[in-house]
Amino acid sequence: MRFNLDRGLWPEALLAALATLTVAWPLTTLLRESPWVGPAILLILTVAVVGSALRSLDVNPTFVVLAQILAALAGVIGRYLGETLRWVVVPGMETLEQARALLQDAGTVLREYAAPAPTTEGVEFLIVSVLVLTAISVDSIAVTGRAPATAGIPLAAAFLVSVSNTGTAMQPWFFAAAALAWLLLVAQQGNRLVSGWSSADRRESVGSHDVSFGPTGHRRVARILAGTTVVAALVLASVAPHLPPTFLTDGLARSDEGRSLGGTGSVSFTETMDVTADLANQSDEPVIRYRAAARLQQPLRVTATTEFDGRRWLPPDYVADVTQEGLLRPPREGTGDIRPDVPFDVDQLSVLSNGLRIPHLALPSPFESVRADVPMTYDTETLAVRLEDPANTYEVTYVDVAPRGSLPEGIGQADADPAAWGQAVASDPAAEAAIAELTEEVVGDATNDVEVASLIQAHFRSGLYNYDLQLAPGLDRNDPVTHFLATRQGYCVQFATAMVMMARHEGIPARMAVGFLPGEQQANGSWSVVASDAHTWPELWIDGLGWTRFEPTPGVRTGPPPAYSQLGQNTFSADPTISGEETPSATPTQQPTGAQESTSWWDNLLDALRTAGPILLRALAFVLVLGLITAVIAIAGRRHREAVLRHADTPQERIEGQWELLKRSLEDYGVDPPPDRSPREMGEHYRSKARLDRPSGEALSRATATLERARYAAPEQTVASDDATMHRDVVTVLDNVTSELPWNMRVSAKLFPRSGVHYIRSVVRRWLPR
């Protein structure tokens, strides 16, 4: 072997490695830490160096790719599975078990966390493995295979992972870096090839053979083609409809319930209560739009769960206790376990547009009724309304409990039966010590459940804690509650979880609820709820009130706590940061005056058309044009295949027509037609080109014999029975050939037959001289 640096294509290999690294750059936004960056860079460069070195030695391309795979596999195993190797170098069953465990860990994170997700060892293992496979694919296609443009496919696939998972718009520099790296790769290879077209000394090779000298003078043609392609791509991209990236691939939080919230794709929080991505979402696309007769003072509730596994909240199980269509009234008309002497107001709101995916529905709680033109179910455990079909609009009558803060005597005095609530009273064992110490300090000698809950709520809203979407460093995934209580920094999930655990320590059943803050008022008087209005809060079981909302998250995010939780402020610890006039930061001070007129279905339709109309029209136009082209080609193909048969009058002419039908149909299926020779020679051609079973082979032999008699025998010897036999044999052969083809070739033969192209071409040629 002779070592030749030029044959190694070192510049192209380094550009391929750079392109892989640029598409990996956006992954840094999906994870909280980036320990995977160093190993990924090292292994990607290893793939590039191994490939270039072997190409410099003129090794066969297949062995180049195999060597890159082995080198990358050795690097990944040594980095993440090294302790399972036998005799330091030999993998065994323990290696496979460890790899499976790492992938299971990564799968758990992918299902249960939204971006930014924790970077566990399993996640690091998965990311490095995928990036190394991408590097091998790009290098083998772009450098070894000399097709840098095609290498954009694996690069785009890797880039799509980042786009699909962020939940927000991709920063332009991520796309620009990936595009620039790919274009440099294409330009480098293209410059080498185009320069070689007129060069007297070519030193490239494919495998062990030099590329033959090509014709000169094609540089201008190549540049024109390249420029035309770029312009055409820009024009098509500007008119083609733009689908959300998750249309093509799943993202983080991909469990069964993980994407059940967010019909427009702008909401990504899951029923594990991880709302991080939504709180940081800057999209102003409304998830819900509604009108209300009075300003909404409570969140739009979606669901609740009682089970916490020490690290995260688990999705609840639903039971359809009540099923109704049109108008749903929960048992006891929504007031549930509220004592009859508890004061409450009844208000209404009308949802003008609903972007939540089924089966979820957002509405104030408790509610008396919800009206929608679809079947609805009600779960008495979670108090969640669920849909069987999408409901774009609906109306809710809801209850505002003790809006002026006064509660009858005895509310919250009786203890709940812990056996009746199961997980609703089980505190977090890992954080029990920290919870017990803080609860005893905050609650003191208080015994009334409302008083206890109010004291805990006031503690978290007292200014001692910082509301921040970024958690303090040093998070222990196995004990997040203790970490929050120690660092006193977090967002609504941490505040609500801590209050739930402290209430459970006091024997009060408590759970986590999830939904949206009331949103922001618009100029037309309606209210708009966006993804960043996602919110979680605790619900405590209070004797005389039932499941009752409290609000420990500081007012900078949520506004004032419920009025009933501020009872006895002269006795309870007051919240110095909250006043009765404080309002959520997301809502303006202007309030709607009186009841607003409901928007008609026609106005809603016009709004929807104004938003989605241009994209839908372009998509419809594209589909119509494509359908028209397909129909024209298919009809033309049929006319071409049956042209001779359609004008046949005698049995001999019909047999010739059947043979032409066979030839042109087989050409549509990818079998080239034979030269015009004797029938037997044409039959031998089809036997060698088409995969025929025994019955269809015999049918082909009979068809060629019938054609031979029709051409060379006396006319009176050809009868109508020969025509019928020919037809059956042709159908038998075509059926057999069709059954052996893959589905995509069958579809292509039906929609875009070659016979149709031939017919259209012949028509154009006939008309051009005229």
608-613: which pairs have CB atoms within 8 A and are 24 or more residues apart?
A: 608/353
- DSSP labels, 343-409: -EEEEEEEEEEE-PPTTB--B-SSEEEEEEEEEEEEETTTTEEEESS--S-EEEEEEEESTTS---T
**Domain residue limits at 143:** 5-197+219-227
In 3D, which of 416, 422, 455, 421 has the Cα closest to residue 439? Answer: 455
Handedness of CA 156, 159, 165, 166 (dihedral sign): negative
Single-letter code of the amino acid located at 164: S
All residue ranges of the chain with pLDDT < 70 are 1-3, 87-88, 110-116, 161-170, 192-223, 225-226, 230, 233-274, 282, 332-336, 418-419, 556-557, 567-619, 717-720, 743-744, 769-770
Q: Tell me: do 752 and 631 sit in the same domain.
A: yes
Q: Tell me: do 94 and 156 sit in the same domain.
A: yes
Q: Tell me: do 696 and 635 sit in the same domain.
A: yes
Residue 13 inside a domain? The answer is: yes
Answer yes or no: are the C-beta atoms of 25 and 174 closer than 8 Å: yes
Q: Tell me: do 35 and 140 sit in the same domain.
A: yes
The token pair that represents 233 in the structure block: 């791509």
Residue 360 inside a domain? The answer is: no
Chain CA centroid to CA 529, Å: 22
Residue 503 inside a domain? The answer is: yes
How far apart are alpha carbons 54 and 67 in whole angstroms?
A: 9
The pLDDT tens digits of the residues spanning 427-461 come to: 889 999 999 999 999 999 999 999 999 999 999 99
Which spans in 537-650 are helix H?
555-558, 601-641, 643-646
Backbone angles phi, psi at 533, to 5 degrees: -85, 5
Residue 301 inside a domain? The answer is: no
Residue 665 inside a domain? The answer is: yes
Of 206, 227, 248, which closes a domain? 227
CATH code (residue 495): 3.10.620.30
Q: Tell me: do 53 and 168 sit in the same domain.
A: yes
Q: Tell me: do 99 and 179 sit in the same domain.
A: yes
**Please, which residues have CB within 8 angstroms of residue 416's CB and are 6 or more apart in sequence?**
425, 507, 508, 509, 541, 543
Of 210, 227, 244, which closes a domain? 227
SS3 of 70-122: HHHHHHHHHHHCHHHCECCCECCHHHHHHHHHHHHHHHHHHHHCCCCECCCHH
Of 524, 544, 566, which closes a domain? 566
How far apart are alpha carbons 412 and 430 in whole angstroms?
A: 28
Q: Tell me: do 645 and 560 sit in the same domain.
A: no
Residue 262 inside a domain? The answer is: no
The token pair that represents 479 in the structure block: 């004990």
Residue 369 inside a domain? The answer is: no
Single-letter code of the amino acid located at 177: A
Number of residues assigned to the chain: 770
Q: What share of the chain is helix, strand, coil (3-state, %, to 5)?
A: 50, 10, 35
User: The whole model's pTM is what?
Assistant: 0.49
Torsion of CA 249, 251, 254, 259, to 10 degrees: -90
Q: Tell me: do 442 and 557 sit in the same domain.
A: yes
Q: Tell me: do 496 and 632 sit in the same domain.
A: no
Answer yes or no: are the C-beta atoms of 455 and 573 closer than 8 Å: yes
Q: Tell me: do 624 and 738 sit in the same domain.
A: yes
Q: Tell me: do 553 and 669 sit in the same domain.
A: no
Question: What's the total number of domains in the chain?
Answer: 3
Residue 339 inside a domain? The answer is: no
How far apart are alpha carbons 344 and 339 in whole angstroms?
A: 11
Q: Tell me: do 677 and 549 sit in the same domain.
A: no
pLDDT the model gives residue 493: 92
The pLDDT tens digits of the residues spanning 340-379 come to: 899 999 999 999 999 887 888 999 999 999 999 999 999 9
In 3D, which of 442, 450, 502, 492 has the Cα closest to residue 471? Answer: 492
